[in-house]
Amino acid sequence: MTDSSADNVARLLKSRSFVELGARQRARALLDEGSFRELLDPFDRVTSPWLPKQGIVTQADDGVVVAKGTIDGQPALIAAIEGAFQGGSMGEVGGAKIAGALELAVEDNLKGIPTRAVLLLETGGVRLQEANLGLAAIAEIQAAIVELREYQPVIGVVAGSVGCFGGMSIAAGLCSYLVVTREARIGLNGPQVIEQEAGIEEYDSRDRPFIWSLSGGEQRYVSGLADAYVADDTDAVREQLHELFALGKPVQPRSRRHAWFLQRLADVDTLEQLDAAAVRALYEGDAR
């Protein structure tokens, strides 16, 4: 075995998948060692009042883990969505936990405590069983992101195969910075929804290479819709957070470049299905 091969094997053995971790494990792994303190933990039994009405077993934290601690010694908040519970969908309780935590971070900053935030977004969007209540919670999350990013960076991370869709994809776009892995997907509508509305000839939700070529992490990054592209490795994700926080607030958040994006969309020929190369060409250049 050559030295380079041995180094690669050693690196692989040392690496630890971030995608395979649960929400609580992810939050703990990204905060400084020993600083993790969960807010409204499972023992508080904050559950959805709506799921039992449909015979759905609730989860004690409603699929959202919120923790405070430090990153690089600085106060930090992490809100992690558990993609394995109800597809990471946002309902009244889980959404309120995230919005409330972000609002607490705003209050910290007003008191002179420079609290930053990380959102781990593994979500299919609103929980259909909770409809308007879930949508209202997502709107509160979006408003809280916009308010907090005036003081400290808010970093979104989309890592796993659940992806980030619906109203929470808008929340991802509102973050100061967005980190993605190759396994990630981001889109307003998921593949099954698009197929249902437009037909399988237009969008085959079973064609995984096609789907990832358009809405996968690498494509979103090279198109300028994400700020960092990292390997599925816990240390790599943590190091990327450190680098982005060191940059401070971006000069201009992506969401304030709406005129630029609207012009790009106006240039799209909707009579033909765009392929990955055409999408990249559309956003290349000054999109970065």
What's the whole-model pTM score? 0.91
Residue 122 has pLDDT above 50, yes or no: yes
Residue 55 has pLDDT above 60, yes or no: yes
Enumerate helices (H) and strands (E) in the chain, giving the number of each.
Answer: 11, 9
Residue type, 240: Q
Residue 10 has pLDDT above 60, yes or no: no
CA distance 184 to 232: 10
- Positive/negative CA dihedral, 24, 26, 27, 31: positive
CA distance 77 to 86: 23
CA distance 262 to 283: 11
Residue 285 has pLDDT above 60, yes or no: no
CA distance 273 to 135: 30
**Are 116 and 75 within 8 A, CB to CB?**
yes
Go through 242-262 and write b for each residue having 16 or more CB atoms within 10 A of its CB, e for each that does not: eebbeeeeeeebbbeeeeebe
CA distance 44 to 91: 17
Lowest mean pLDDT: which of 8-22, 81-95, 96-110? 8-22
Residue 134 has pLDDT above 80, yes or no: yes
